[in-house]
Structure 1
Amino acid sequence: MFERLRALRDAPAIAAGLVALALVLVVQLAQPGSPGRVGLAVFDAYQRAAPREVAGDEQVAVVDIDEASIERLGQWPWPRTEMVTLTERLAAAGAAAVVFDIVFSEHDRTSPTQLSETLDLGDRLAGLPDHDDLLAESFTRAPVVTAYFLDRGGHGGDIEPKASFTLHGSLPTRGVRSYGGAIQPLPVLEAAAQGNGFVSLESDADGIVRRAPLVAIHRGVLVPSLGLEAVRVASDGGSPNLLASDGSGETQGAGGAAVAVRMAGREIPVNDAGEMWVHFPAGERAVLPAWQVIEGAYEDSALAEAVGGRIVFIGGSAAGLQDLVSTPVAERTAGVTVHAAAAEQMLAGDFLERPDWAFGLEVVLVLLLGGGLALILPRLGAALGAVAALVGIAIVAGGSWVAFTEANYLLDPTWPVLALLAVYAVQTVAVFYREERQRAHIHAAFDKYLSPEMVRRIASDPDQLELGGEERDMSVLMCDIRGFSRMSERYAPREVIDFLIEFLTPMSDILLKRQATLDKYIGDAILAFWNAPLDDPDHHRNAARAALEMVEMTRELNRTMPGRDGVIWPGEVGIGIGLNSGLCCVGNMGSRQRLSYSLIGDTVNMASRMEGLTKQYGVPIVAGSALAAELDGFALLELDRVRVVGRDAPETIHALLGDEALAQDEAFIQLAAAHAAMLEAYRSLDWDAAEQALSQAEESYAALGIPKLRELMLERVAALRSAPPPSGWDGVYQATSK
């Protein structure tokens, strides 16, 4: 039964967690391609923490047109004769391929033919060779790869790949980017080169280049990237093969996406767009400044050692060339380094890969971890739930890191982590809201029994509320309405209930204000106590002040309530209050079927007996000796030593007439002196002195509203005079009724 109730209580929090999980899942499923920005940032962090290790026998070199080269050789573009020198020196040094990350799309302005037209020199330079022809001629003597820019517009002519792709499957138009135009090298240069490839790089939304495209579609024809073409030329790899999704055997007719590129015995994994994830090496790549190669600062042997057998990429890091990009490991670097890193990976067969099952695994982890946490978190609570969530996050993050470092897999941990965080946050809020509602409910319920200050303290520190039987030194108040039985005979039950509501409400307000716990209403009676469930070091005085205020409130009600419309007020209402303090057992009382927070003990019984004695002694409040001893400064009058019904030990009882102000009043001081003298004479069997003291203090008794006490003592003195007590009488009065 308890488990079923707990399941019902936890159901809203579980539902809230599952809704949060569903929202995360919907967002995740809405972008099944490349990881989101956070996931990409995680992969960037992995690259910085574990960059690709480059062996000592690097297969790629870079010649950099840097700022120093621009300063040395002049403004870009340089005369093509400089490019001829650069090409021939690299070829002579044994470069496996000379790859230009430069698009020679315009004629050399320093060429004789261009100068003749520009300067109107006629035929005076006609015998000199054209620089573009010289560069083309140098291309025929070296394994050169030229570059072109792809353009989404319709500019330029068709591109004729040097080695056409062999396509396995249908043209992957769904994933691979398509272009309608291109900015190409001069035809004479392109014809002389052994290879040509595009240099267009696409960055992610945050401006960082993480992938190098290996293939694109230009006017319906597959064309290779500069890096892929460089590897083909350098390794004489023949025509590249593109494996499409419907040609891989992995899907049934679902075409439109790239899977892998195969060339020269290598299979290069790519994403749907035909892009290869680039695993960048650590630090700055060592480059050869272009001016040093052109001007011969490198001797032939040194240059051969630097570039021999390697693919040499030629590009520029000078700001004026506008070919700077951001990568995971560098804020700004030359675009040629991306092509170089891609070619290096292809040659080494070392690939970062986001396998086709990665997204499915991430979805499964979202469901398993997020759903599991959603189901167990309400039972675990916030602290243990946080531990469980952190363990789940650690497993996901650790697994992603191990997959990267050990298998070069890119598994995005962000969605499972986000699912755990979302479920934890939402369920924690939901449980907090539920607990706040329960706390508010408890607060409202306890407001009926405890003072607002005590409820606030319990709510802020529930540990103070210890349920279960325990012994405490407590103050107890029992209040009863005089003549309520006769009143009930005179009025209808509904009228009696209305009267009790009007009477008990202000009385309860007083008790709660004085930090009392309302135990129960017994018809017209109120039982209240202090110092439980919370500690109240001033419980004796709080009980006394509450009793005095209740008496004063009764007088106020008697003045204001009669004649009020809709309220039955049965004449002059009187109350009696019994106050006592001592050890009580307080806690959950009752049966296994029903419990109530209450107290039992002799202290409670005595409070009830003292309330009954108020009628006999004619005082509104009777207090026990233990409580009276704690009320220093209050207007207390010792009444008698009484042995109540059902109790053998006698008790000294006191009338509580007022607070510290009344205790300083001259009338009370005179009465207290006269009454003390009367008690001394009474207990000494000096009946004449006792009667004399009572007679002399008649006005004082009347002035303080307790003339019945004087009359009672006069009657008792007279009775004892006529029937003297036995020898050894201790002055204790034996009560005969409750």
Structure 2
Amino acid sequence: MSSKKKKRKPVGVYLLIAGLAFLVSSFLSNIPTFRSVELDFRDLLFEIRGPLSVEDSPIVLIPISDEADSEIPQKYPWPTNVYAKLIENLNKAGIDVIVFDVIFDQPDQYDLKNDTLFANALKKYGNVVLAGDFREEDYEDGKSQTTLFPQQILQANNPNPVGLVDVNPNTDGAIRTYSFGTTFNNKDYYKLGIEALIIYDGISRDSVSNVDDNTSHSFLLGKHRIQKDAINSFIINYYGEEGHFPVYDFAEVIDDADYTTTMERDAGFDINAFDDPDFEEGWLYEGVFENKIAIIGATMPALKDFYKTPLMKTEINSLGEKEELLRPGYEIHAHAIQTILDGNYISRQSATTVLLLMALFSLLLVFINRFFGPVWGGISMFSFMGGYTFIVIQTFLNANLFLNLTAILLTLFAAQVGTIAYQYFVEQKEKRRIQGMFSSYVSPKLVEQMVESGTDPELGGDQVYMTAFFSDIESFSTFSEQMSPTQLVTLINEYLTSMTNILTDKGGTLDKYIGDAIVAFFGAPLPFEDHALRACIASQLMQKELNVLREKWQKDGWPDIVANMKNRIGMNTGEMITGNMGSANRFNYTMMGDNVNLAARCESGAKAFGVYNMITESTKIEAEKFGNDCVFRYLDKIVVKGRTQPVKMFEVADLRSEASQELFDCIGLYEQGMEKYLSQNWDEAINLFGKSLELEIHENNPSLILLDRAKELKKNPPGNAWDGVFVMKSK
């Protein structure tokens, strides 16, 4: 019998697949393409979360904009006295800190006195942070880092150190982190936002961590413990898109009674948007700058101070397409400062945790595939992907923690693909093995079913409940006497091909050819319940196919013996042994057992009843469990040679769908005669067998056999102890 158990799948191979999936996904997740995918997803998390409130934020923005440029009489770069005016007015309005995201490294191009005015304002108010940067320059002997700081007069008069404005973009060019500063010539230079908070909170520089301090996971900035993402940076928690913080026009802030804008000049009267002394109106009186941090930076497109960040503003372009707008650089400082003020830090999952999760998911998925198959593996993969993505989103929304998504998804995908690839390889290998083992005696369709079902014969012998099938050409020795060897081979090959095609089409397994004889069975190596019915149907299809062959051979001019060829078929259903049997080096998938011998006796014994298909009662009963396709006729209760127990025998007379009324009438009369025969009513039996004989289609037939036997028993009655059993004297 074919084993119902799946073949044991080696654990080691699946561990190897999990390991390879882990390694492949580890590699892929670190290449730029997938790093960008991960970063883009993190940006999407900001979109999902939406903007955060800055209602209580101390930050205000003052852009160096095209609008301001149109109101200031001198075109940009403006004379530096306007910055002095800006510092003066903001301090009048109660500003705490003024931050310039502009590097004043060149002297004023209008009048050097303007630089002096700017420097005096810096010195007077002492709450201004100027921007600086470090640049790498190429020299013959290599690269060297140089400073790009404000001109000396400004540095000398400003009590506060320069704040750095360099950016550290990710691989996709986006700004997501904010560094603490840079060490240059053994001196720490802090970032613009850090310097702004030192002034705003009155932080002693002794309570500020060194830039490259790697002894702690936090960067100390007075009362603020900034959660590091790397040794020298933290993740910026962007609160919204461009313009999320309050924005005030540069020209309006400097527009007091002492300054005339282009609009005022053209109109011929003062507006004084900052301070109108006559009406006590303007920004000064509204208190919008009181205790604030004012950040001044460029928004002019020509100055190209724009960057890709999360939560960028979108607009519809002239083509009707949605387009993201790069964020002005000075806003990056604003969001970094707000992140520190709120302590609203974002952390990342540690690399160790990511690797552990990758290993766990990889192992889990490949073993789901191992135990439950690729369908459940695929369902599990998508479930894990969806579930983990949900967890990643919720973790960010509720805990400000970035979980690595791409690496996990890659791991799940690689594990599933690797497992399917391995299972496909094994399946194809198994298919080739089974095809090599069984293709010569079972149909390709059956081989496919064996592979798909996962059943595998337990080679060496297994007990199976199935149907044995024997077929033999009547008087074949006469053929060999009247035909040349070449003709005989041609004939027998055509005959066996046609018969075998029917056999395999109905799911039968060819055991062997013995000359003209066909030995086969139904129900192994792949089990199916209706094996007896299939065998009976196959026997009738073979008889009909032989009729077609006889007509063909007659037209082709073969001898009469060929045109009149007949074959006999015997079948029996029961427990038998199947398996690969033979020597260690040469064997055959075959069957053996007493029930096999009985099937063979059915084939040879059919001649005694003048029929061409004889089966045992067990085959008839088993076939009728699964269909009413065949017409059966009870023949006799006999003891075949070599056995002691009697067996009821039946003829498979025809397929019910093609049987004639004459056949049904013949069988009806015959079976009535059989009842009289068994009750020893010999006259009635002889009468009924005589009537059925008139309807028989073959010269030698069951009606004739039983008619002669009834006449003989009438002459020599068997007595009251007779059980109706007929003992066969020959095979």
Q: TM-score band, normalised by the shorter chain?
A: 0.5 to 0.7
TM-superposed deviation, 1:338: 0.4
The residue that corresponds to 2:118 in the other structure is: 135
**Whole-Å separation in 2 of the counterparts to 1:208 and 1:29:** 17
Q: Select which of 165, 169, 193 maps to 1:199.
A: 165
Is the 2:431–2:448 Cα contact (8 Å) retained in structure 1? no
**Whole-Å separation in 1 of the counterparts to 2:602 and 2:156:** 120
**1:184 equivalenced with 2:149 (yes/no):** yes
TM-superposed deviation, 1:313: 0.4
Is the 1:323–1:335 Cα contact (8 Å) retained in structure 2? yes
TM-superposed deviation, 1:180: 1.4
TM-superposed deviation, 1:279: 0.8
1:227-376 maps to which residues of 2 (within 5 A)?
A: 227-239=193-205, 241-243=208-210, 248-249=214-215, 261-272=219-230, 274-283=232-241, 284-295=244-255, 296-298=272-274, 299=281, 302=284, 305-331=287-313, 332-354=326-348, 358-371=350-363, 373-374=365-366
**Whole-Å separation in 1 of the counterparts to 2:30 and 2:413:** 18
The residue that corresponds to 1:153 in the other structure is: 137
1:590-601 maps to which residues of 2 (within 5 A)?
A: none
CA distances 1:237-280 after superposition (whole Å, capped 9, x unpaired): 343744477x6557xxxxxxxx6544434443445462231111
TM-superposed deviation, 1:419: 2.8
The residue that corresponds to 1:378 in the other structure is: 370
CA distances 1:476-498 after superposition (whole Å, capped 9, x unpaired): 7432577999xxxxxxxxxxxx9
Distance 1:106 1:614, change over 3 A: same
Distance 1:131 1:366, change over 3 A: same
TM-superposed deviation, 1:326: 1.8
**Whole-Å separation in 2 of the counterparts to 1:106 and 1:62:** 24
After TM superposition, the structure 1 stretch with the greater mean CA deviation from structure 2, 223-232 or 705-714, is 705-714
Is the 2:636–2:648 Cα contact (8 Å) retained in structure 1? yes
CA distances 1:559-581 after superposition (whole Å, capped 9, x unpaired): x9xxxxxxxxxxx999632368x
1:163-562 maps to which residues of 2 (within 5 A)?
A: 180-194=145-159, 195-218=161-184, 221-239=187-205, 241-243=208-210, 248-249=214-215, 261-272=219-230, 274-283=232-241, 284-295=244-255, 296-298=272-274, 299=281, 302=284, 305-331=287-313, 332-354=326-348, 358-371=350-363, 373-374=365-366, 377-382=369-374, 385=377, 404=396, 408-438=400-430, 441-442=433-434, 445=437, 447=439, 450-456=442-448, 477-480=469-472, 506=497, 509-518=500-509, 526-529=519-522, 533=528, 540-547=536-543, 549=545
**Whole-Å separation in 2 of the counterparts to 1:225 and 1:690:** 117
1:617-628 maps to which residues of 2 (within 5 A)?
A: 621-622=613-614
Distance 1:514 1:275, change over 3 A: closer
**Whole-Å separation in 1 of the counterparts to 2:237 and 2:599:** 86
**Whole-Å separation in 1 of the counterparts to 2:124 and 2:367:** 71
Distance 1:451 1:539, change over 3 A: same
TM-superposed deviation, 1:211: 1.2
Distance 1:96 1:505, change over 3 A: farther
Q: Identity, % of aligned pairs? A: 19
Is the 1:611–1:622 Cα contact (8 Å) retained in structure 2? yes
* One-letter identity of the residue aligned with 2:331: T
* One-letter identity of the residue aligned with 1:80: T
**1:144 equivalenced with 2:128 (yes/no):** yes
* One-letter identity of the residue aligned with 2:528: P
The residue that corresponds to 1:736 in the other structure is: 728
The residue that corresponds to 2:262 in the other structure is: none
**Whole-Å separation in 1 of the counterparts to 2:252 and 2:116:** 24
TM-superposed deviation, 1:89: 1.0
The residue that corresponds to 1:123 in the other structure is: none
TM-superposed deviation, 1:18: 1.7
**Whole-Å separation in 2 of the counterparts to 1:191 and 1:442:** 90
Match of 1:306, SS state, is coil
**Whole-Å separation in 2 of the counterparts to 1:610 and 1:579:** 6
**Whole-Å separation in 1 of the counterparts to 2:436 and 2:636:** 43
Distance 1:244 1:573, change over 3 A: farther
TM-superposed deviation, 1:339: 0.9
**Whole-Å separation in 1 of the counterparts to 2:174 and 2:100:** 23
For these two proteins, the number of residue pairs brought into alignment is 631
* One-letter identity of the residue aligned with 2:332: V
Match of 1:313, SS state, is strand
TM-superposed deviation, 1:310: 1.5
Distance 1:409 1:606, change over 3 A: closer
TM-superposed deviation, 1:312: 0.6
Unaligned stretches of 5+ residues in structure 1: 114-128, 156-177, 251-258, 486-497, 561-571, 591-595
**Whole-Å separation in 2 of the counterparts to 1:530 and 1:233:** 91
**Whole-Å separation in 1 of the counterparts to 2:300 and 2:245:** 15
Is the 2:511–2:590 Cα contact (8 Å) retained in structure 1? no
TM-score (norm 1): 0.66
Is the 1:587–1:597 Cα contact (8 Å) retained in structure 2? no
CA distances 1:476-534 after superposition (whole Å, capped 9, x unpaired): 7432577999xxxxxxxxxxxx9xx9899748733434414238569866243489716
TM-superposed deviation, 1:8: 5.7
Unaligned stretches of 5+ residues in structure 2: 256-271, 275-280, 314-325, 478-488, 557-563, 580-588
* One-letter identity of the residue aligned with 1:193: N
TM-superposed deviation, 1:102: 1.7
CA distances 1:71-124 after superposition (whole Å, capped 9, x unpaired): 444743334343333222112112112111122333444x2x4xxxxxxxxxxx
TM-superposed deviation, 1:361: 2.7
Is the 2:188–2:210 Cα contact (8 Å) retained in structure 1? no
CA distances 1:570-599 after superposition (whole Å, capped 9, x unpaired): xx999632368xxx5689999xxxxx9999
Distance 1:11 1:511, change over 3 A: farther
**Whole-Å separation in 2 of the counterparts to 1:513 and 1:380:** 32
CA distances 1:603-628 after superposition (whole Å, capped 9, x unpaired): x9986554223444666555789799
